[in-house]
Amino acid sequence: MLNIPFASLAVVLYLYASLARAAPNPAAFSASLNIVKESINPPRGWVQGPPAPEHHTIKLSIALPQPRFGELEAHLQEVSDPAHARYGQHLSKADVDALVTPHQDSLDSVDDWLAQHGLGDEDMVRSDGMDWVTIRVTIGTAEKMLDTKYHIWIHEESGDVVVRTLSYSLPESVHEHVELVQPTTMFARFKPEMASLHYFPSVPDALEPITDSIAAVLGQQVPSSTTAVSPTCNSIITLECLQDLYGTKGYTPQAADKNALGITGYLEQFANLQDLKQFYAQQLPQAVNTSFTFVPVAGGENSQNLSEAGIEANLDTQYGLGLSFPTPGTFWSTAGRPPFNATLTTPTDSNEPYNTWLDFVLNQTNLPQTISTSYGDEEQSVPLSYAIRACSSFAQLGARGVSVIFSSGDGGVGDGDTDPATTTCKTIDGQNKTTFLPFFPASCPYVTAVGGTVNVAPEVGVFFSGGGFSNYFGRPAYQDSAVGTYLANLGQTYAGLFNASGRAYPDVSAQSMNFSIVSGGRNGLVSGTSAAAPTFAAIVSLLNDVRLASNRSPLGFLNPFLYTQGVQGLTDILTGNNPGCGTEGFNSSQGWDPVTGLGTPKFEVLKSLV
């Protein structure tokens, strides 16, 4: 039986009542609408409901080919390779836009196709690189354009309701000029990667200031030495635990006027300023009167109601900005939930917030040099065309000198389940085979994926640390040596459960267990690679400060550096494993491994290297 929240159920009932309409007239479709662009099997965890109402409005994003992307990729490799003469000579926004601009015949063909459906220039929003066109149409029009049928789909676990289709087609005349159209087959939810918040019982009232007993607990966690890490950091992680563990204590940023750290927020995850102030009062008093720049994307909000404080958003801002203080921070809140609002007579569609954010940042001239994101989903839930296109967007950011950091996921090699009889690690290609489930966007070769550790003397790979091998992306050259060594030692273990030639992740790791945060006015502990990503990103931001203070360029795309010179500045994690999919998962080992990557940061060494 479906467990659907009341609001979502009301929406579904409303939609059923809206179905008294004629089906699209097949005669209205062009006879050339016969080339399938994409077709998928029903996604795991989603149940098909009734046809979508014809009057429902949907915003379609149309991706045109980027014929010069190979050139952009070559530029990215050169400017990111410490051994290359062009290292650090990043491209400008104008340079990148020029490299992703489609051929004129693609622009003309898509314009002609849209014109056939009554859409002109005034109905289109184009990206600066002209490689995306966004239109707003009714479901009825979209179905005619794409020779498809949209339905209501309900996510069994959450009750989320979306409008999607399992396949769509394009006219022969435009087929080669369009890479993808979404939302169509995109069911990924890009959920935050974090465990539930566990509150300290000593704070009975959410609005009371921190009690003396909790202050004492927090005080015990703060190591007294700048070189040793207190054993109590095995129980509670604070800013000072991380500063001591990774060696950033005592470093004062010098380029705060040039540097910035960006943090993404989705799904109504609001970063609460009162919580941030309370967190700073406890752990970083000199920052109490500071904040971050809030940037709404597509109408995104940042409610300051304590009851709406987002655990993910608070974790990311409190640790990302706290560790990199006083480096300025930007918090993007991107609007977008399941598309229906039961309180509206005519539901509106906010589509995929993830793509909305990418479109927004790529159109900005000035960006933070480091961006941290703690959201993702199973790679197989993301259409291959979408994953490739999103990955190319991260390459564009890297070419412009932005370090893009992602959490590696919290399911180990898949679902975290060691029982073969109950594992949910199955393919959705119709064969229902047991398989490890890689995580996207961590599996994109143009991002730096951060796994998780626990304990401080020594650090150990945490059991939920997401890691493995992509089924979509091949292994990049910068990984060949390190990953090849690991695979040689692994032998035939788990043969057939993963793609040994795929992009391997995570790249690095950081602490991810029992982070002390403030949320809703209360102190609590939260765990997940969601904590590791902003932690590592903050250290990267400090390294960018080092370079910018010396009038050098920011680090940009990190991985070629990390897998060569940078590995000297990482602590190799030798123990731990990441169970899932009915197995004990991979093991941490000497060198790179699919639990902790190359290891955790040693700031002073990295500082000397950059």
State pLDDT tens for residues 118-142: 999 999 999 999 999 999 999 999 9
Residue that finishes a domain, picked among 556, 573, 590: 556
User: 230 and 107 in one domain?
Assistant: no
DSSP letters, 15-40, are HHHT--SPPP-GGGS-TT--EEEEE-
Query: 312, 349, 359, 415: which one is catalytic?
Result: 312
Residue 325 and residue 372: Cα distance in Å, rounded?
A: 15
Write down the pTM of the prediction: 0.89
User: 572 a known binding residue?
Assistant: yes
Of 1-5, 249-253, 352-356, least confident by mean pLDDT is: 1-5
Residue 416 has pLDDT above 60, yes or no: yes
Residue 467 lies in a domain: yes
Q: What stretch of H or E contains 519?
A: strand 515-519
Catalytic site includes residue 316: yes
Catalytic site includes residue 312: yes
What pLDDT, in 10s, does the model give residues 153-200? 988 887 888 899 999 999 999 999 999 999 999 888 777 766 556 665
Residue 582 lies in a domain: no
User: What integer pLDDT is reported at residue 197 of this predicted model?
Assistant: 61
Residue 217 has pLDDT above 50, yes or no: no
User: 481 and 348 in one domain?
Assistant: yes
Range of the domain at 301: 198-383+402-410+434-556
Residue 84 lies in a domain: no
User: 573 a known binding residue?
Assistant: yes
Residue 429 lies in a domain: no
User: 204 and 135 in one domain?
Assistant: no
Residue that finishes a domain, picked among 186, 214, 240: 186
Residue 283 and residue 277: Cα distance in Å, rounded?
A: 10
User: 456 and 325 in one domain?
Assistant: yes
What pLDDT, in 10s, does the model give residues 442-497? 999 999 999 999 999 899 999 999 999 999 999 999 999 999 999 999 999 999 99
User: What integer pLDDT is reported at residue 176 of this predicted model?
Assistant: 95
Residue 80 lies in a domain: no
Residue that finishes a domain, picked among 151, 186, 221: 186
User: 227 and 170 in one domain?
Assistant: no
What pLDDT, in 10s, does the model give residues 521-559? 999 999 999 999 999 999 999 999 999 999 999 999 999
User: 591 a known binding residue?
Assistant: yes
Neighbouring residues of 493: CB distance < 8 A, sequence distance ≥ 6: none
The position carrying tokens 């093991």 is: 587
Residue 75 lies in a domain: no
User: 146 and 52 in one domain?
Assistant: yes
Residue 346 and residue 340: Cα distance in Å, rounded?
A: 9
User: 593 a known binding residue?
Assistant: yes
User: 204 and 309 in one domain?
Assistant: yes
User: What integer pLDDT is reported at residue 224 of this predicted model?
Assistant: 33
User: 202 and 182 in one domain?
Assistant: no
CA within 13 Å, CB half, 352: 24
Identify the band that residue 16 occupies on the pLDDT scale cut at 50, 70 and 90.
Answer: very low
Identify the band that residue 298 occupies on the pLDDT scale cut at 50, 70 and 90.
Answer: confident
Of 32, 31, 30, which Cα lies nearest the Cα of 173? 32
User: 33 and 150 in one domain?
Assistant: yes
Residue 514 and residue 550: Cα distance in Å, rounded?
A: 36
Identify the band that residue 4 occupies on the pLDDT scale cut at 50, 70 and 90.
Answer: very low
Percent share of the chain, pLDDT over 90: 75
Q: What stretch of H or E contains 61?
A: strand 57-63
Of 258, 236, 254, which Cα lies nearest the Cα of 245? 236
Percent share of the chain, pLDDT over 70: 86
The position carrying tokens 């601009």 is: 101
User: 220 and 139 in one domain?
Assistant: no
User: What integer pLDDT is reported at residue 29 of this predicted model?
Assistant: 38
Query: 97, 147, 179, 316: which one is catalytic?
Result: 316
Q: Using an 8 Å Cβ cutoff, are 442 and 374 in contact? A: no
Q: Identify the CATH number of the domain in which residue 524 sits.
A: 3.40.50.200
pLDDT mean across residues, the chain: 87
User: What integer pLDDT is reported at residue 195 of this predicted model?
Assistant: 56
Count of structural domains, the chain: 2
Indicate the SS3 state at residue 150: coil
Residue 587 lies in a domain: no
User: 312 and 247 in one domain?
Assistant: yes
Residue scoring higher pLDDT (7 or 269): 269
Query: 530, 541, 588, 589: which one is catalytic?
Result: 530
What pLDDT, in 10s, does the model give residues 25-79? 434 434 455 799 999 988 888 999 999 999 888 889 999 999 999 999 999 999 9
Residue 564 has pLDDT above 60, yes or no: yes
User: 240 and 141 in one domain?
Assistant: no
Residue 31 lies in a domain: yes
